[in-house]
Amino acid sequence: SFDLSQPPSVSVSPGQTASISCSGDKLGDTFASWYQHKPGQSPVLVIYHDYKRPSGIPERFSGSNSGNTATLTISGTQAMDEADYYCQAWDSDIAIFGGGTKLTVL
Amino acid sequence: QLQLQESGPGLLKPSETLSLTCIVSGGSIIDSSFYWGWIRQPPGKGLEWIGSVYYSGTTYYNPSLKSRVTISADASKNQFSLRLTSVTAADTAVYYCSPVIGNAFETWGPGTMLTVSS
């Protein structure tokens, strides 16, 4: 199975755009999902099928996936978006998670 | 709206066997629209997929845990379970259950903490 690599941390100012990358061999050939995880809470799915948003997820969350990289973009980042973010994909029937990225809203 | 609730022992000694249950409400565990997974997060670390079970009973496991893990589904109780043998301190984690819908872990239970300590 392949590995998914994420930057350990990303910082962004309120109102600006945050981008979190997720890299893996031929990741664009499969679907990527993204999860938001705040301390003391359960993870929340924010993007699935590369770019689709579940009901209730704000429009400022968007995703893309091409080549070897999937990207989660948060436009107009808010303080409430500060969290750990994990990408996830499937290698056949094996689920792979990235190592996670801590998003800090300064 | 699917809801899930994990339950487990909380504390185990090294070499003991972990048994966790995920009770599903708001949907049927034998619905072919989705299947079911276990994920864990050790303290200070990232998410780790443990394995999945389909309504048919077919299972898939993380290769790193495969020799110690069994996941099963009980349609009569609308729940699925995780069994992990020979636990060590490295198995200390919050354990979550989730349905897989559209290739994603769509809804997560609140999680149950397991501590392995002598």
- C-alpha dist (Å) from residue A29 to A6, A61, A67, B87: 18, 22, 7, 36
Contact B60 A90 (CB under 8 A): no
DSSP E strand stretches across chain B: 3-7, 11-12, 18-25, 35-41, 48-53, 59-61, 69-74, 79-84, 93-101, 104-105, 112-116
- Enumerate residues 14 to 43 of chain B having a beta carbon within 8 A of any beta carbon in chain A: 37, 39
Task: Report whether pLDDT(A36) > 90.
Answer: yes
Instruction: Let me know: does A4 contact A94? Beta carbons within 8 Å.
Output: no
* Residue A7, pLDDT score: 98
Question: What pLDDT is recorded for position A2?
Answer: 81
pLDDT in tens, chain B (118 residues): 899 999 999 999 999 999 999 999 999 998 878 889 999 999 999 999 999 999 888 999 999 999 999 999 999 999 999 999 999 999 999 999 999 998 999 999 999 999 999 9
Q: Distances in Å between the alpha carbon of B81 and those of A39, B3, B85?
A: 25, 15, 13
Cβ-defined contact of A31 to B103 (cutoff 8 Å): yes
Give the pair of three-digit tokens for residue A31. Answer: 């679907």
Q: Say how many Å lie between the first and final Cα of chain A, rounded.
A: 36
pLDDT of residue B57: 87
Coil, helix or strand for A62?
strand
CA distance, residue A49 to nearest chain B CA (Å): 7
User: What does the pLDDT look like over A39-70, one tens digit per residue?
Assistant: 999 999 999 999 999 999 999 999 999 999 99
What's the confidence (pLDDT) of residue A1? 66
Q: Testing the interface with B: which of A9, A30, A34, A35 to mutate, by most B Cβ within 10 A? A: A35
**Gap between the Cα atoms of B81 and A96, Å rounded:** 21
**Number of helices and strands (H, E) in chain A?**
0, 9
Joined together, the tokens standing for residue B4 give: 């899930």
Asked if B52's CB is within 8 angstroms of A37's CB, the reply is no
Chains A and B form CB pairs within 8 A to the count of: 62
- Cβ within 8 Å, pair A1-B63: yes
Closest CA of chain B from A29, distance in Å: 14
* Nearest residue of chain A to residue B63 (CA atoms): A94
Interface of B with A in 46-85 (CB under 8 A): 46-49, 52, 60, 62-63
- Which is nearest to B83 in space by CA: B75, B72, B73, B74? B72
CB atoms near residue B112 (< 10 Å)? 20
What length does chain A have?
106
Are B97 and B109 spatial neighbours (Cβ–Cβ below 8 Å)? yes
Residue of chain A whose alpha carbon sits nearest to that of B46: A99
CB B116 within 8 A of CB B93: no
For residue A87, give the chain B residue with the closest CA. Answer: B47
**Residues of chain B found within 8 Å of residue A88, distances taken between Cβ atoms:** 47, 49, 104-105
Put simply, the answer to whether A95 touches B111 (Cβ < 8 Å) is no
Closest CA to A87 of A77, A100, A106: A100
